[in-house]
Amino acid sequence: MNPQDNGPQPDSQMISVARALEALQKGEIAVEHGLLRWSSNYAFLVTIAHDDVEVTTVYKPQRGERPLWDFPDGTLCYREMASFLTSEELGWQIVPPTVLREGSRGLGTFQLFIDHDPEINYFTFDETQQPQLMRMATLDAIINNADRKGGHCILDKQGHLWGIDHGITFNTAHKLRTVIWDFAGQTLPAHIVEDVGRLCVSLNDTNTPYRKQMQELLTNSEIAAFQRRIDRLLSAPRYPLPGSGPNYPWPPV
């Protein structure tokens, strides 16, 4: 199923993040367009209506998550949500607006669908996307993204880079698997270091809204590992090098 064949979708830049989150959180499912067949877990394209706003979203119910040997069952939706909150705390807007709530198939994430050309992905990008990819590579390093495929890097009509599918993140063990090794070993730009530094302060303060939300989504050991990854990056601000284990996701797109 091609999501572009399933009715109208919003222009991702024509609605503010706050308005999108309000609709996702408070709206009702108006139309279920069907199952997204390429997803490894059950994911449904649905339209949510709230007041005068309709948004097309990807709904991933918790009970449709495929069991994994290295991630606790039923936690992928929490990791999706934690990835969105971290992207927002950094001010980067890499992860589309996402909420965790009850739906027609139980608890799950609802994420704003980004209208894009599926033929355009990481492997077709040119140098104009490099600054945005540098932020995405940094985000993946600190959230320990185990599945950054080329098709998880999408461009909207305004050329903004979005990242999707963040269910296998925040593991306590090193799991970074990504196609974005363009910057391996390079020094992080100063503005990215500054943003990560602010994130570090917010995460370390147990009274911040961000830290409180993360504590509801991740275990104490996962948060501690997250803090260590940030600390390491700030103490030696360079993009990580591929390690000795699996470094690329499969399939790459």
Interval 234-249: pLDDT, tens: 999 999 999 877 899 9
pLDDT tens digit sequence for 167-196: 999 999 999 999 999 999 999 999 999 999
- Beta strand 44-50 with 28-35 is antiparallel
**SS3 labels along 187-220:** ECCHHHHHHHHHHHHHHHCCCCHHHHHHHHHCCH
Q: pLDDT band at 197, cuts 50/70/90? A: very high
Alpha-carbon distance of 224 to 154, in angstroms, equals 31
Specify the pLDDT at position 36.
85
12 pLDDT tier (thresholds 50, 70, 90): very low
Nearest to 143 by CA among 65, 196, 206, 208: 196
CA angle 154-156-157, nearest 5°? 145
What is the tens place of the pLDDT at every residue in 27-44?
A: 999 999 988 877 778 999
CA distance 5 to 96: 20
Q: For the whole model, what pTM was predicted?
A: 0.92
Q: Identity (one letter) of the amino acid at 40?
A: S
Residues 6+ apart with CB under 8 A from 40: 66
Position 14 scores a pLDDT of 65
In the numeric block, the tokens 């917010």 are attached to 202
Place of tokens 């911040």: 208
Q: Each residue of 103-137: pLDDT tens digit?
A: 999 999 999 999 999 999 999 999 999 999 999 99
pLDDT bin (cut points 50, 70, 90) of residue 9 is very low
Evaluate if residue 97 carries a pLDDT over 80: yes
